[in-house]
Homo-oligomer: A and B are copies of this chain.
């Protein structure tokens, strides 16, 4: 297998109501990436577009707008997992030798059709993601004594990180009290336990090892694990305190990358709701089962340095790409004022639809 590096990345400012079209959104970070990467549009031989938007032929449209003539080009669509699926697809295209230079672009408008889970009859009328997040939270509280304060601390931490990220939707710290006093959405989940849908885009360039040799600090994708356990909530996981898909994806990614958990210095965890970051600690193995709530205070690993999904906002198809972009920038030592010191190995954890599918990507220098 050819090795694959992430050589460039750019993420737009996540906002609400910019009035940009999906395609303008997608082009914004892509143009920046091409300008800053030193790679010309002509060298890019594949373009994969990640989005839940229903526009037809969107990857070809974006390619034409960017002046790229890709050999391989298509859209990848899989709800919140779309971006990490597109990264896996791009990885495979390079690792197989089909292409050398793949642009992965994720973009979403705030009114994305990916925001509702209307297709799952097993959810009844509880079609918004917050409904199943509440069920996970209650189960974890009941079984392990996890507290609303512990969940709220995830929000405090991620908002604090987002305050250092100029591209985040929310750039203001929040206090524990503010989270606890915020409006109840679906008990025990409060407004500040939730991420917000928004619009935004992120682009990364994946290149073959040969191309990566000319880079100063190549960041390699070392392991990719993905798992789908179901589409419906009813069959997603046998135990409501574990995201089974994430556990299995992590196992695959660690095995493929020959990486130990203890080597991870920095991680992007899927925190569309605070409880999901706590489950993530456990599913990935950072915390023992049931001890995720206490793990929020730890300081060995930096988790969600860009502010996570709670701080940055959640433009569904862009999120997975932005997560990979963040870890690449951290490992390359180019994360500016939110740079994590001495990080060499990082991880991305992403989920879709009540954790019925998950991705874990291990990256390293």
Contacts and interface: CB of A to CB of B under 8 A. Distances in A.
B78 A73 contact: yes
Interface string A339-365: 000000000000011001100000000
Number of copies: 2
Nearest to A357: B60
A224 interface: yes
A191 interface: no
A119 B1 contact: no
A229 interface: yes
A286 interface: no
Given A92-B96, A97-B1, A73 B357 contact: yes
Interface in A43-64: 47, 52, 54-61, 63-64
Given A71-B226, A72-B226, A76-B75, A60 B92 contact: no
B113 A56 contact: yes
Count chain B CB atoms within 10 A of each CB in A1, A56, A60, A118 and give the residue with the most: A56
Given A1-B97, A92-B89, A96-B95, A228 B71 contact: yes
Nearest to A244: B69
Interface stretch (A131-139, A230-238, A321-329): A230-238
Contact of A60 (B58, B97, B98, B231): B231
A307 interface: no
A313 interface: no
B92 A252 contact: no
A241 B161 CA distance: 57
A134 B131 CA distance: 53
B60 A356 contact: yes
A295 interface: no
A308 interface: no
Given A1-B96, A77-B75, A92-B89, A56 B225 contact: no
Contacts of A158: none
Given A1-B97, A88-B72, A92-B96, A119 B229 contact: no
A37 B70 CA distance: 35
Nearest to A46: B226
Contacts of A356: 60
A270 to B, nearest CB: 16
Nearest to A95: B96
A3 to B, nearest CB: 11
Contacts of A73: 78, 85, 226, 228, 357
Interface string A32-46: 000000000000000
A200 interface: no
Contacts of A228: 47, 59-60, 63, 69-71, 73
Count chain B CB atoms within 10 A of each CB in A70, A96, A113 and give the residue with the most: A96
B352 A119 contact: no
A16 to B, nearest CB: 21
Nearest to A50: B74
A57 B71 contact: no
Interface of A: 1-2, 47, 52, 54-61, 63-64, 69-79, 81-82, 85-86, 88-89, 91-98, 113-114, 117-119, 224-232, 235, 248-249, 252, 352-353, 356-357
